[in-house]
Amino acid sequence: MTLNQLVCRAASAYPEAFVLRFWDPLREEPKSDLHAGDTLAEFVALELYESFEPEASDDDQLATAVKVMQSAADDLQAVAHALGNISRERMAA
């Protein structure tokens, strides 16, 4: 599996494949798009790039990509939960 294949698969699940706005398929590396405005899509491209091991098997590459994305999702969920608790904490005070 190539890095381009992995990024394209991730982009296919992201709204409007926006991850590809932050991907250079010729260089197989992330690129900046200051006007895109979707830093989460940029994050996905960067994390896949930084965690990719070209010598790893397809299964290992996929396992690593899933682990990295799940870890990020867990972090986002924790932040959302903490922010959601603010109003409950105010009501209890």
pLDDT of res. 12: 97
Domain boundaries, the chain: 3-92
List C-alpha distances in Å: 75 to 8, 10, 49, 67, 69.
24, 19, 19, 12, 10
> Any residues with CB less than 8 A from the CB of 71 and at least 6 apart, and which?
none
pLDDT of res. 35: 84
What's the predicted TM-score (pTM) here? 0.87
Beta strands in the chain (DSSP E): 23-24, 29-30
- Segment 5-64, tens digit of pLDDT: 999 999 999 999 999 999 999 999 999 888 888 999 999 999 999 999 999 999 999 999
pLDDT of res. 16: 95
